[in-house]
Structure 1
Amino acid sequence: MIRQVPEVLFKTRVRDQSIGGDNPFRWQDVTSSDIFKGKNVIVFGLPGAFTPTCSSTHLPGYEVKYDQLKAKGIDEIYCLSVNDAFTMFQWSKNLGIQNVKMLPDGNGDFTRLLGMLVRKENLGFGLRSWRYSMHVVNGEIQQMFIEPGFMDNCPDDPFEVSDADTMLNYLSK
C-alpha cells in the first residue's frame, strides 16, 4: 500500500523571540508538503491530548524510542491529534516531551482525508483520530499500522500495533 498523504494546511504556533512577553508565539501555517516533502517521517495519530493511553504510553513510547527510530534514518517523528495548537503545546510541556514534534489537526482535515476520523461521542470527544502510526517517505505512505476495530463510538481503545516498538521492528527489517 503506497499512497500520498493528504495535502492540508496545519495551523501551528511557533516561538518568536521578537514578540516578547509571556507568550512569545505566533501563528504559522504549515502544509503537508512542508512536513513530508523530501523527508523520511513517522506520524502517529491518537485520539486526544491528556487522555489516558495517549499520555501514559503512546506519546511517551515514541519519545523514549526517539533516538533508536532516528538511527533508522528517520528525519522527524510527529504526534498528530485532532486538537488545537495550544492544547498540543501544553500537553507536550506537561509530559516533558523534548523530541517528538506535536502536529495539531484542530479541524481534523488531515485525519478526515486520511480516512482515520471517527466519532467518539460515546466519550464526549466529538470527532477524533483513530489510533494509528505510519511511515512516510517524501509524502508517500510506505506502511500504516492501524489499530483493530476501526469504528465510530468504539467501546474500547485498542492499542496493539501503532506503538513505537512495532514501528521500530518494521524499520529494522
Structure 2
Amino acid sequence: MIPGARLPDVTFQTRVRDDSIAGPNPYRWQDMTTADYFGGKRVVLFALPGAFTPTCSTYQLPGFEKGFDDFAALGIDAIYCLSVNDAFVMNQWAKAQGLKNVQVIPDGSGAFTRRVGMLVRKDNLGFGLRSWRYAAVVRDGVVEAWFEEPGLADNHEADPYGVSSPDTVLGWLRAAAQGAAA
C-alpha cells in the first residue's frame, strides 16, 4: 500500500474473554471491523507470516511490545500485530508472549491481507497462504507510512526482516516528529 491509501473494510472474527461464561474456556466470538481497530486512532500495524515462528516470536513481536512507551511518546495510540492465523492461535500466542501492550488481530481467512496485497503462498514451508512481513503507521484508517520487506513473492526462500522492524518504524516516527517541529 502507499501512503494516503485507506485500509480495506473487513470484519475480523475474534475471541474475547467473557466472565459470564462458565467453564475452562470463557470466551465468545466477537466481530471486529477495520473501523473498530483503526477509526479515530493513530496506530502501528505490523504483520508477519505466523504466530509462534522464530523471527516473529523472538524479534518482531517482542520488540514492539518492549518499545510501546517509545511509540506512545510519539503519538501512537495502539500497536497491532496481524497474522493469517485464527483467533485461537493468536490468543494463545499473545498469552505465551505475555503481551500487555501489543494487541493481536487474527486474519484467519486472509481477507484483510489479500486486500492490502500482502497475501503470499508459503507452501514451501508447509504454511499455505500467509502474510508477507510488513509494518505501517496508520491514522484513522489511512496509511501514513508503509514498511514492506523486500522480495514479496510466493514461496520465497528467505524470511527477510529489517524494514518492518520496531527500530525502523520508531526511527521514521522520530524523523516525522522532528520534521513537524521544524
Shorter-chain-normalised TM-score: which range? over 0.9
Instruction: Kindly provide the CA deviation profile for residues 71-106 of structure 1, in whole angstroms up to 9, marking residues without a partner as x.
Output: 111111000000000000111111111110000000
Question: Within 5 Å, which residues of 2 pair with 1:9-158?
Answer: 9-158=11-160
Structure 2 CA distance, aligned partners of 1:160 and 1:58? Answer: 9
- Normalising by structure 2, what TM-score? 0.93
- Offset of residue 20 of structure 1: 2.3
Q: State how far apart, in whole Å, the 1-side matches of 2:22 and 2:143 are.
A: 39
CA–CA separation in structure 1 for the residues paired with 2:6 and 2:138: 9
Task: Identify unmatched segments of 5+ residues in structure 2.
Answer: 176-182
Spell out, residue by residue over 1:118-171, the C-alpha distance to the aligned partner (whole angstroms, 9 max, x if none).
Answer: 000000000000000000001100110000111100000000110111111111
Q: Secondary structure at the match of 2:137?
A: strand
- How many angstroms does 1:35 deviate by? 0.8
For 2:165 and 2:99, how far apart are their aligned partners in 1?
Answer: 16
Q: Give CA-to-partner distance per residue, 1:99-119, whole Å, 9 cap, x none.
A: 100000000000000000000
Structure 1's unaligned 5+ residue stretches are: none
Following the alignment from structure 1 to structure 2, what is the Cα–Cα distance between the partners of residues 20 and 67?
Answer: 35
Moved over 4 A (4+): none
Please give the alpha-carbon distance, in whole angstroms, between the structure 2 residues aligned to 1:105 and 1:78. Answer: 12
**CA–CA separation in structure 1 for the residues paired with 2:78 and 2:94:** 16
Secondary structure of residue in 1 paired with 2:94: helix
Number of residue pairs aligned between Structure 1 and Structure 2: 173
How far, CA to CA, are the matches of 1:117 and 1:125 in structure 2?
12
The separation in 2 between residues aligned to 1:130 and 1:83, in whole angstroms, is: 13
RMSD over equivalenced CA pairs, Å: 0.7
* Structure 2 letter corresponding to 1:113: R
The one-letter code of the counterpart of 1:46 is L
TM-score, length-normalised on structure 1? 0.98
CA displacement, residues 9-35 of structure 1 (integer Å, 9 cap, x when unaligned): 000011111112211111000000111
